[in-house]
Amino acid sequence: MTCYAAQLGDCAGGFTKEHYISESVLKIAGPVIQITGFPWQQGDVSMEVGTSALTSKILCRTHNEQLSELDSVASTFLTELKSSFQKARDNQLSNSIFHTSGHLLELWLLKVLIGLLTLHEATIPQKWINILFQRQPWAEGSGLHIFGTPGTASWFFQLVRVIAVKRTGEPKRIAGAEFGIGGLAMLLAFGKPQFREPGIEGWYRPGRLLIRRDGKQNEHLFSWDDNGAHGTIDIRVEGVTVDQTNIPRPMVQPIRKKSA
């Protein structure tokens, strides 16, 4: 196996063992992960593994180090987001404000998608690699969209379903990937998506996420390297007592394709 960024022409330092999904993020999800859809599994049978099992030599040391900031941003954001949901559930929101680089979080999602696609020896488009290493911008309307029905939500963690589309007379191509992270339904889109389901709304590169309960809130602010208009996502968390023993394991689904 070669470094998936070898086409950039500056590999160095030998191979490093890289988690398909950042180790720091997996630890937030939990010590044991439920997986399905990996090449070594049969059909849709799921299994539970420790986070150390989800590694492979897919990046050279130089390229792995260049992407380390993305892992740090994602880990910090998810730690803060999980804390906000837990505090909302316990009615202990403190009107805190958190700051995240939306640009780097968006790139982290792309890193996760590319890492998982290497499992299936998929051909990674050159432009994806260029975008990931910030050598090429996203196309207009592409990148992070958050979608769903405004209102109540709860913490969850589920990665990742690949969305494949096929136009008449053309081969099937990947149009995006869905990520379920911390009460948010995220879509990394390669092109401008259309949300056609009744009641479903989409926010492209939102600037603010509010998590509220009983007049208190935590505010998560996203910064972007563009001049676009960035909306607000408003989430209410209800105070339902949760039986922790019945919460399903965090789920990792690397290649769960659906037509769109």
* Strands in the chain per DSSP E: 15-19, 32-35, 47-50, 55-60, 97-101, 143-148, 151-152, 157-165, 173-181, 184-189, 201-204, 208-213, 216-223, 232-236, 251-252, 258-259
Say if residues 203 and 147 touch (Cβ distance below 8 Å).
yes
| Ranges 6-15, 160-169, 204-213, 228-237, most confident | 204-213
Calculate mean pLDDT across residues 94-109. 95
Percent of the chain with pLDDT over 70: 63
pTM assigned to the model: 0.80
In this predicted model, what pLDDT tens digit does every residue of 230-250 receive, in sequence order? 889 888 887 554 443 333 333
In this predicted model, what pLDDT tens digit does every residue of 180-229 receive, in sequence order? 776 678 888 888 877 666 667 788 999 999 988 889 999 999 999 887 77
Q: Please name the amino acid found at residue 14.
A: G
